[in-house]
Amino acid sequence: MLTARQNLMETIKGGKPDRFVNQYEYLDIIMEATIMVGNMPMFPGNTGKDAWGVTWNWPEGQIGGFPMHDDEHKVLKDITEWKKYAKKPVIPTADEVWAPAIAHANAIDRKEKFAAIFFAPGLFEMTHHLMGMEDALMNFYEEPEAMHELIDYIVDYELEYAKIVIDKVHPDALFHHDDWGSQISTFLAPKMFEEFFLPGYKKIYGFYKANGVEIVVHHSDSFAATLVPYMIEMGMDIWQGVMKTNNIPELIEQYGDKITFMGGLHSGEIDFPGWTPEICAEQVEKACKTNGKKFYIPCLTSGLPMSNFPGVYDEVSKQIDKLSKELF
- CATH 3.20.20.70 for domain 4-34+72-327, yes or no, is no
At residue 60, the pLDDT reads 87
CB 40 within 8 A of CB 56: yes
Those residues with Cβ within 8 angstroms of residue 158's Cβ, 6 or more apart along the chain or in another chain: 119, 123, 200, 204
pLDDT at 39: 56
The parts of the chain modelled with pLDDT lower than 50 are none
The DSSP code sequence of 147-173 is HHHHHHHHHHHHHHHHHHHHHHH--SE
**What is the H or E stretch that residue 290 is in?**
helix 277-291
Measuring CA to CA, which residue among 233, 312, 328, 231 is closest to residue 276? 312
Q: Is the peptide bond before 305 cis (omega within 30 degrees of 0)?
A: no
Question: What is residue 116's three-state secondary structure?
Answer: strand
In 220-282, DSSP assigns E strands to: 238-242, 260-265
- Say what the pTM is: 0.96
Measured in whole angstroms, the distance separating CA 51 from the mean position of its chain's CA atoms is 19
Task: Kindly report the backbone phi and psi dihedral angles of residue 220, in degrees, each rounded to the nearest multiple of 5, phi listed first.
Answer: -150, 100
Q: Over the stretch 39-61, which tens digit does the pLDDT of each residue have? A: 566 678 888 888 899 999 888 88
Which 3 state secondary structure label does DSSP give 253?
helix
State residue 65's pLDDT score: 86
Mean pLDDT of the chain: 95
Domain residue limits, the chain? 4-34+72-327
> At a CB cut-off of 8 Å and minimum separation 6, what does 182 contact?
222, 223
Phi-psi region of 53 (alpha: psi -120 to 50; beta: other; left: phi over 0): left
Q: Which amino acid is at 21?
A: V
Res 168: pLDDT: 96
Give dist(CA 288, CA 281) in Å, integer: 11
